Amino acid sequence: MPITVLNPTSQSETEPLRLALPVQSLEGSLVGMLDNSKVNSDTLFRYAEAILREQYGVREVLWRRKHNFSQPAPPYMLGELRACDAIITGIGD
């Protein structure tokens, strides 16, 4: 009986990712908060928002919340966040 060996790796060609340019200042900026919906993530981001507004002069915060932490953010949500000068995302727990 022959043995079939499968290769689980991807052979697709992708473009290398480019890092965003560093933000020089957050004063007067619009910052996006992408909450992944894990426990306590909203608490963490609310704390971060207070610091950003009080200490760094952030003008506005755009909040978006994923419905499932294990899935990527939907394209429409990423499109909305493109208007931001900086975006913070992460996890809770």
Domain boundaries, the chain: 41-63+84-93
What's the confidence (pLDDT) of residue 21?
86
Entry pTM: 0.76
How confident is residue 68, by pLDDT bands cut at 50, 70 and 90? confident
How confident is residue 30, by pLDDT bands cut at 50, 70 and 90? very high
DSSP 8-class letter at 27: T
Task: State the chain's mean pLDDT as an integer.
Answer: 90
* Strand order across the 30-35 sheet: 60-65, 30-35, 86-90
How confident is residue 6, by pLDDT bands cut at 50, 70 and 90? confident
The answer, yes or no, to whether residue 57 has pLDDT greater than 80, is yes
CB neighbours of residue 18 within 10 Å: 6
